[in-house]
C-alpha cells in the first residue's frame, strides 16, 4: 500500500499495553467510544470518538491518545492512572522522572530493541 507513510494518511493503530480484550486487564482502558468506560474528558486527546471526529472533520489525525484507569474501574472514584498510547510502531517510553501513573511522564518513540 505504499509503505507506512502512505498508510498513515488514512489509518492509525494504537496498541493498548496492559489492556486485554474488551477492556479487561490492569492497564488504563478508558478511552471513550461506544463500549467500555467513558473517557474523563470528551476531547480528542482522551476520547477515541472525538479524535476520529477531529480527523474526519478537520483533517487532524491523532498522534497520541491518553488512556485512563479509574480507581476500582469506577469513574465516580476518580483517576488512578493515565498512560500515553502512541501510533504504531512507536511506543510510550517513561522519562525516568515523576510518577508512572501520569501520562505526561511518557513520550512516544521507536521501540527499544
What is the domain partition of the chain in residue ranges? 4-109
pLDDT of residue 35: 78
Q: What pLDDT shows up at residue 75? A: 94
Q: How confident is the model at residue 110 (pLDDT cuts 50, 70, 90)?
A: very high
In the predicted model, is pLDDT for residue 19 greater than 90? Answer: no
Select from 82, 89, 66, 111 the least CA-distant residue to 13: 89
Chain centroid to Cα 50, Å, comes to 12
Contact 48, 65 (CB under 8 A): yes
The pTM assigned to this predicted structure is: 0.90
Residue 44 is predicted with a pLDDT of 96
d(CA 7, CA 63): 14
Q: Is the pLDDT of residue 22 over 80?
A: no
Provide the mean pLDDT of the chain: 92
With beta carbons less than 8 A apart as the criterion, state whether 12 and 87 touch.
Answer: yes
Q: CA neighbours within 13 Å on the CB side: how many for 30?
A: 20
User: Helix, strand or coil for residue 83?
Assistant: strand
Q: What is the pLDDT of residues 49-82, one digit of tens each?
A: 999 999 999 999 999 999 999 999 999 999 999 9
Side-chain-facing half-sphere of 105: CA atoms under 13 Å = 11
In this structure, are residues 82 and 101 in contact, taking their beta carbons and an 8 Å threshold?
Answer: yes
**Residue 23: is its pLDDT beyond 80?**
no
Mean per-residue pLDDT, 38-47: 93
Residue 11 is placed in which grid cell?
489509518
Amino acid at each position: 500500500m505504499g509503505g507506512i507513510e502512505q498508510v498513515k494518511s488514512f489509518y492509525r493503530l494504537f496498541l493498548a499495553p496492559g489492556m486485554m480484550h474488551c477492556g479487561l486487564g490492569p492497564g488504563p482502558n478508558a478511552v471513550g467510544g461506544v463500549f467500555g468506560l467513558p473517557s474523563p474528558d470528551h476531547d480528542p486527546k482522551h476520547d477515541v470518538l472525538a479524535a476520529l471526529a477531529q480527523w474526519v472533520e478537520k483533517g487532524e489525525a491523532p498522534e497520541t491518545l491518553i488512556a485512563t484507569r479509574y480507581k476500582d474501574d469506577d469513574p465516580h472514584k476518580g483517576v488512578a492512572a493515565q498512560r500515553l498510547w502512541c501510533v504504531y510502531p512507536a511506543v510510550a517510553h517513561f522519562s525516568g522522572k515523576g510518577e508512572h501513573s501520569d501520562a505526561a511522564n511518557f513520550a512516544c518513540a521507536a521501540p527499544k530493541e
